[in-house]
C-alpha cells in the first residue's frame, strides 16, 4: 500500500479514537474487524483497549444481521450499540467521521439505519485484457483491483483496503466483473470460482457481499447444452447446480447481475421468452440460498435507422418492461438506469422508475465518468444524484423511496495510486455511498464531510470552491439543454457534435438550419413524454412548462426560441460555453493557490488534470459554438470570437 492515497480516511482521522480508552463487547467476524481497527489506531496514537472506565464503548447486543446502530454520548462516555456486526462496523465508522466531535458534548442519542438495504457497486472489470474494452470497460482509474494477467490478483491487501473504504461510507455489495461477460469472465461461475471466493473473503472482512455478472448463455457456453431456454427443464437444472456450487464456495454470495438482450448480449428473446421468464429462472436458482438476480433494464434497439424518427431509444425500457410488471419473482430486481438514455450530464428521470409498482427496482447511477469527463475533468456528481433521488415521480413518492431493490453505481475505482485516477473523483465514490445510506441527505453536507476527512480544515474552502459547482460547469461547456451526447464515437471523450447523428445508436439531436432538439411530445413527436405520471407528463409535454435544462430533450425548437431565463436558445449555447471555460480557468487558479496546503503528489496530479480539462473545455466551446453559428447563421450578441 506504499504510496497509495488513503482516500477519505487518512490516518489522522483515527487519532481521536487512538488516543481514547475503548471498550469493545461482543464477538463475531465483523466485531473482530472493529477490534483490529481500534487496536491499530491505539498502537499508532497511544490509546488502549480496556475492560473498564472507557471513553468509548462499542457493543454488539445480538447477532441478527442488522445494519442499524445507536450512537449516544452521556456522562463523558461515547457509546455505539448494535444488534448486528455490520451495524457495529458502521457505527464505528460514524465515530471516525465525527472525529473529536464524537467525544464532546452530552445527550446526543441518535438511531441510524440505512435508507436502502442494498448499496452496491458494479465493476466493469475484465479478467483478461479485452482487445477492444481493455482491462476495465469505461474505467478511468487504471487496471482492475481484482484481476491481473488473466487471473485474480495474488496479493489481496489492496482489495481488503478497498473493502474498508467502501464500509466507511456504507456500501455493502460489489459485483466484481463486467456486465458484458466475455469468455474468461463466464468461467468465474465454474472452474474459476475459487478465485472469486478469495476476493469474497477479503471483502467479507468489511461486510461486503460479492456478486457476479453472468452470461445468460452460460448453459451453452459452459455446460455444453444445446439451449439456454429459460423454460427448459435441463437448463433450469443446470443453473440450480451451478448456483449451489457457488454457495458451497461463498456462503454469503449476493447473487447474479445480468445484461441480456442488450447491445448484442444473449437473452431470452432468442427463445421467444420474456425478460421475466429469464430473470425468474435465475431467481429460482438463487432463492434457496437467499440470493438475488439483478436484471438490467438497459434494453433498446442499437441498430436503429437514423432516418426513422418514430423509433425513440428513450422509450425502450418502458415499452419493454412495463407490460411485465408483477411478473418478476420477489428475489428478482430490475436494475434501471436513472435516466432513459445513458448517464448523460443531464437527463430526465426514467419514467420506468414510477411505472412498475409490482416489481422490485434498483436505480443505477454511474460513478465512473464516462460522459462527464472520464475522471480527467473535475465533475462532482452529488447534486445530480440528489436531484434524481429526491425527484417526485408522481408528485409525491420520490425515486429514493421507490428504489426497494437498492441503489447501484458503476464503479470509478481501479489500481491507480489515487484509486480514482483524479483524486477529486473520490468525492463521487464517497457521495454515492452516503446517499445510498440516506437518499434524502444534503449533498453539500456530504461534500463538506468528505473534504474534512480527506484534506482537513486548511484547504477546505478552496477544495469546496473547486468541486461544488463542477457538475454544472461541465454541463455548460458540453451538450446544452439536455440534448445529450455530442461526443466522439466509441471512446466518448471530447466533442463531436455530429459524432452519433447518423449512426444506429439512437442518440440524435436533429439540428438543422432552423432549430435543434428531439420532439418527444405526445401531440407531435415520439410520445415519450406520455410515459410519465401526472404532473410530469403535462409539464414535459408543454413548451411553456418544460424546464429549460431539459428543453431539447423533449422538444425541437428554433434557435430564436426564448428560454425562461430570458435568453434565446442560440445565445444560451454561446454564453454557457464561454462561461464554462471561464469557470474551469477560475477553478485551476484556486487549485494552484492550495499548493502549500495539499500533499504534493495529490496536488500535482490534480493540477495536471486541470490542464487537460481546460484544453478539452476550450475544444468543446469552440466546436459547439462554431457548429451552431454555422448551422443557424445567428451571430453572438456579445461579438466574441467564434470560428
57 by DSSP, 3-state: which? Answer: strand
Give yes or no: residues 36 and 151 share one domain.
no
For residue 331, the model assigns a pLDDT of 98
For residue 107, the model assigns a pLDDT of 75
Q: What CATH number should be reported for the domain holding residue 242?
A: 3.20.20.80
Give yes or no: residues 251 and 376 share one domain.
yes
Q: How many domains does the chain have?
A: 3
In a domain, 262, yes or no: yes
Q: Please, which residues have CB within 8 angstroms of residue 29's CB and are 6 or more apart in sequence?
A: 85, 204, 205
Whole-model pTM? 0.96
Q: What CATH number should be reported for the domain holding residue 599?
A: 3.90.1330.10
CB-based burial, 104-118: b 16+ in 10 Å, e otherwise? eeeeeeeebebbbeb
Q: What CATH number should be reported for the domain holding residue 24?
A: 3.30.379.10
In a domain, 625, yes or no: yes
263 is a catalytic site residue: yes
Give yes or no: residues 363 and 450 share one domain.
yes
> Going by DSSP bridges, is the β-strand pair 173-175/209-213 parallel, antiparallel, or unpaired?
parallel
Measured CA to CA in angstroms, residue 619 lies from 376, 484, 513, 624 at distances of: 14, 17, 23, 8
- Which of 137, 342, 364, 475 is catalytic? The answer is 342
- Which of 63, 100, 249, 263 is catalytic? The answer is 263
% the chain with pLDDT above 90:
94
In a domain, 542, yes or no: no
* 201 exposure class (CB count in 10 Å sphere: 0-12, 13-18, 19+): middle
Q: If you search the block for the grid coordinates 483496503, which residue do you land on?
A: 161
- Which of 37, 67, 370, 541 is catalytic? The answer is 370
pLDDT tens-digit profile of 55-94?
999 999 998 999 999 999 999 999 999 999 999 999 999 9
For residue 4, the model assigns a pLDDT of 45
- CA geometry: angle 238, 244, 250, nearest 5 deg: 135
Q: Pick the last residue of a domain from 455, 486, 504.
A: 455
Give yes or no: residues 300 and 442 share one domain.
yes
Measured CA to CA in angstroms, residue 169 lies from 159, 164, 436, 480, 577 at distances of: 16, 9, 9, 33, 35
pLDDT tens-digit profile of 218-260?
999 999 999 999 999 999 999 999 999 999 999 999 999 999 9
Residue 547 dihedral angles phi and psi, to the nearest 5°: -60, 140
Beta strand extents in 42-85 (DSSP E only)? 48-49, 56-60, 69-74, 77-82
For residue 14, the model assigns a pLDDT of 87
The string of DSSP letters for 594-636 reads TTTTS-HHHHHHHHHHHHHHHHHHHHHHHHHHHHHHHHH-PPP
Q: Pick the last residue of a domain from 88, 112, 136.
A: 112
The dihedral region occupied by 354, where left means phi > 0, alpha psi between -120 and 50, and beta the remainder, is alpha
**CB atoms inside a 10 Å sphere around CB 518:** 24
The three cell numbers locating residue 172 = 455493502
Low-confidence ranges of the chain (pLDDT < 70): 1-11
d(C-alpha 285, C-alpha 239), whole Å = 6
d(C-alpha 552, C-alpha 530), whole Å = 16
For residue 10, the model assigns a pLDDT of 62
In a domain, 2, yes or no: no
Q: Which domain holds residue 24?
A: 11-112
Name the nearest CA neighbour of 541 among 420, 550, 478: 550
d(C-alpha 212, C-alpha 215), whole Å = 10
Give yes or no: residues 61 and 141 share one domain.
no
**CB atoms inside a 10 Å sphere around CB 251:** 12
Give yes or no: residues 106 and 125 share one domain.
no
Kind plus residue range of the DSSP H or E element containing 17: helix 15-18
d(C-alpha 295, C-alpha 532), whole Å = 22
Give yes or no: residues 78 and 188 share one domain.
no
Give yes or no: residues 398 and 270 share one domain.
yes
For residue 106, the model assigns a pLDDT of 83
d(C-alpha 199, C-alpha 191), whole Å = 15
Q: If you search the block for the grid coordinates 428504489, which residue do you land on?
A: 403
Give the chain's length. Answer: 643
Q: Pick the last residue of a domain from 55, 78, 112.
A: 112
100 is a catalytic site residue: no
Name the nearest CA neighbour of 424 among 362, 365, 471: 471
Name the nearest CA neighbour of 523 among 556, 482, 551: 556
> Going by DSSP bridges, is the β-strand pair 332-337/292-296 parallel, antiparallel, or unpaired?
parallel
d(C-alpha 623, C-alpha 478), whole Å = 10
Name the nearest CA neighbour of 295 among 395, 364, 231, 355: 364
Residue 535: asked if its preceding bond is cis (omega within 30°), the reply is: yes
The three cell numbers locating residue 509 = 439531436
Name the nearest CA neighbour of 428 among 370, 355, 486, 479: 370
558 by DSSP, 3-state: which? Answer: strand
Q: If you search the block for the grid coordinates 435516466, which residue do you land on?
A: 339
In a domain, 469, yes or no: no
Give yes or no: residues 140 and 277 share one domain.
yes
In a domain, 618, yes or no: yes
Beta strand extents in 154-265 (DSSP E only)? 173-175, 209-213, 255-258
d(C-alpha 426, C-alpha 409), whole Å = 14
The dihedral region occupied by 436, where left means phi > 0, alpha psi between -120 and 50, and beta the remainder, is alpha
CB 118 within 8 A of CB 72: no
d(C-alpha 356, C-alpha 416), whole Å = 40
For residue 586, the model assigns a pLDDT of 98
d(C-alpha 64, C-alpha 83), whole Å = 6
**CB atoms inside a 10 Å sphere around CB 533:** 15
Name the nearest CA neighbour of 213 among 187, 241, 250: 187
In a domain, 277, yes or no: yes
Q: Would you give the end-to-end CA distance of the chain in angstroms?
A: 49
For residue 9, the model assigns a pLDDT of 60
d(C-alpha 382, C-alpha 451), whole Å = 13
Question: Would you give the DSSP letter of residue 354?
Answer: G
Give yes or no: residues 244 and 328 share one domain.
yes
In a domain, 638, yes or no: no
Give yes or no: residues 406 and 377 share one domain.
yes
151 by DSSP, 3-state: which? Answer: strand
Give yes or no: residues 107 and 144 share one domain.
no
Question: Would you give the DSSP letter of residue 117?
Answer: S
Amino acid at each position: 500500500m506504499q504510496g497509495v492515497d488513503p482516500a477519505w480516511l487518512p490516518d489522522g482521522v483515527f487519532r481521536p479514537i487512538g488516543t481514547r480508552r475503548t471498550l469493545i463487547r461482543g464477538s463475531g467476524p465483523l466485531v473482530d474487524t472493529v477490534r483490529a481497527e481500534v487496536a491499530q489506531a491505539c498502537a499508532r496514537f497511544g490509546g488502549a483497549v480496556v475492560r473498564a472506565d472507557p471513553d468509548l464503548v462499542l457493543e454488539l447486543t445480538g447477532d441478527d444481521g442488522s445494519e442499524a446502530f445507536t450512537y449516544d454520548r452521556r456522562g463523558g462516555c461515547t457509546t455505539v450499540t448494535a444488534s448486528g456486526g455490520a451495524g457495529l462496523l458502521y457505527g464505528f465508522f460514524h465515530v471516525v467521521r465525527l472525529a473529536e466531535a464524537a467525544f464532546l458534548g452530552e445527550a446526543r442519542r441518535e438511531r441510524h439505519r440505512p435508507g436502502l438495504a442494498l448499496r452496491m457497486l458494479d465493476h466493469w472489470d475484465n479478467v483478461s485484457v479485452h482487445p477492444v474494452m481493455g482491462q476495465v470497460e469505461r474505467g478511468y482509474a487504471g487496471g482492475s483491483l481484482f484481476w491481473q494477467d488473466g487471473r485474480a490478483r495474488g496479493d489481496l491487501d489492496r482489495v481488503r483496503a478497498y473493502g474498508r473504504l467502501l464500509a466507511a461510507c456504507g456500501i455493502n455489495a460489489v459485483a466484481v466483473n463486467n456486465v458484458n461477460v466475455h469468455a474468461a469472465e463466464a468461467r468465474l461461475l465454474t472452474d474459476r470460482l475459487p478465485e472469486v471466493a478469495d476476493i469474497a473473503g477479503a471483502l467479507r472482512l468489511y461486510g461486503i457481499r460479492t456478486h457476479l455478472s453472468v452470461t445468460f448463455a452460460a448453459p451453452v457456453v459452459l455446460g455444453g447444452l444445446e439451449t439456454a431456454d429459460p423454460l427448459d427443464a435441463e437448463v433450469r437444472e443446470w443453473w440450480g447446480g451451478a448456483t449451489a456450487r457457488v454457495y458451497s464456495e461463498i456462503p454469503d454470495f449476493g447473487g447474479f447481475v445480468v445484461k441480456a438482450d442488450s447491445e448484442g448480449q444473449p437473452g431470452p428473446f432468442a427463445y421467444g421468452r420474456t425478460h421475466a421468464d429469464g430473470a425468474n429462472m435465475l431467481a429460482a436458482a438463487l432463492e434457496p440460498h437467499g440470493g438475488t438476480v439483478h436484471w438490467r433494464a438497459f434494453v433498446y434497439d442499437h441498430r436503429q435507422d437514423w432516418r426513422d424518427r418514430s423509433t425513440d431509444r428513450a422509450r425502450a425500457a418502458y415499452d419493454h418492461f412495463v407490460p411485465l410488471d408483477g411478473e418478476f419473482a420477489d428475489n428478482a430486481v430490475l436494475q434501471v438506469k436513472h435516466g432513459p438514455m445513458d448517464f448523460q450530464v443531464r437527463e430526465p428521470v426514467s419514467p420506468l422508475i414510477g411505472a412498475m409498482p409490482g416489481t422490485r427496482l434498483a436505480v443505477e447511477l454511474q460513478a465512473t465518468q464516462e460522459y462527464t469527463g472520464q475522471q480527467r475533468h473535475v465533475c462532482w456528481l452529488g447534486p445530480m444524484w440528489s436531484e434524481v433521488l429526491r425527484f417526485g415521480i408522481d408528485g409525491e413518492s420520490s425515486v429514493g423511496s421507490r428504489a426497494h431493490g437498492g441503489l447501484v453505481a458503476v464503479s470509478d475505482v481501479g489500481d491507480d495510486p489515487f484509486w480514482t485516477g483524479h483524486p477529486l473523483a473520490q468525492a463521487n465514490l464517497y457521495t454515492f455511498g452516503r446517499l445510498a445510506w440516506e437518499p434524502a441527505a444534503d449533498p453539500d453536507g456530504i461534500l463538506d464531510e468528505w473534504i474534512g476527512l480527506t484534506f482537513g480544515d486548511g484547504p477546505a474552502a478552496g477544495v469546496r470552491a473547486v468541486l461544488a459547482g463542477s457538475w454544472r460547469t461541465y454541463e455548460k461547456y458540453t451538450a446544452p439543454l439536455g440534448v445529450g451526447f455530442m461526443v466522439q464515437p466509441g471512446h466518448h471523450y471530447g466533442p463531436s457534435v455530429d459524432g452519433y447523428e447518423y449512426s444506429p445508436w439512437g442518440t440524435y439531436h436533429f439540428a438543422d438550419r432552423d432549430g435543434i432538439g428531439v420532439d418527444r411530445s405526445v401531440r407531435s413527436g415520439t410520445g415519450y413524454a406520455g410515459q410519465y405520471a401526472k404532473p410530469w407528463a403535462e409539464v414535459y409535454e408543454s413548451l411553456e412548462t418544460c424546464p429549460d435544462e431539459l428543453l431539447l430533450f423533449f422538444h425541437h425548437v428554433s434557435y430564436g426560441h426564448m428560454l425562461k431565463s430570458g435568453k434565446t436558445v442560440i445565445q444560451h449555447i454561446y454564453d454557457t460555453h464561454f462561461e464554462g471555460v471561464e469557470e474551469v480557468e477560475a477553478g485551476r487558479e484556486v487549485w494552484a493557490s492550495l499548493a502549500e496546503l495539499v500533499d504534493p503528489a495529490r496536488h500535482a496530479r490534480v493540477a495536471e488534470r486541470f490542464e487537460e480539462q481546460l484544453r478539452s473545455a476550450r475544444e468543446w466551446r469552440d466546436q459547439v459554438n462554431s457548429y451552431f453559428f454555422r448551422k443557424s447563421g445567428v451571430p453572438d450578441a456579445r461579438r466574441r470570437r467564434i470560428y
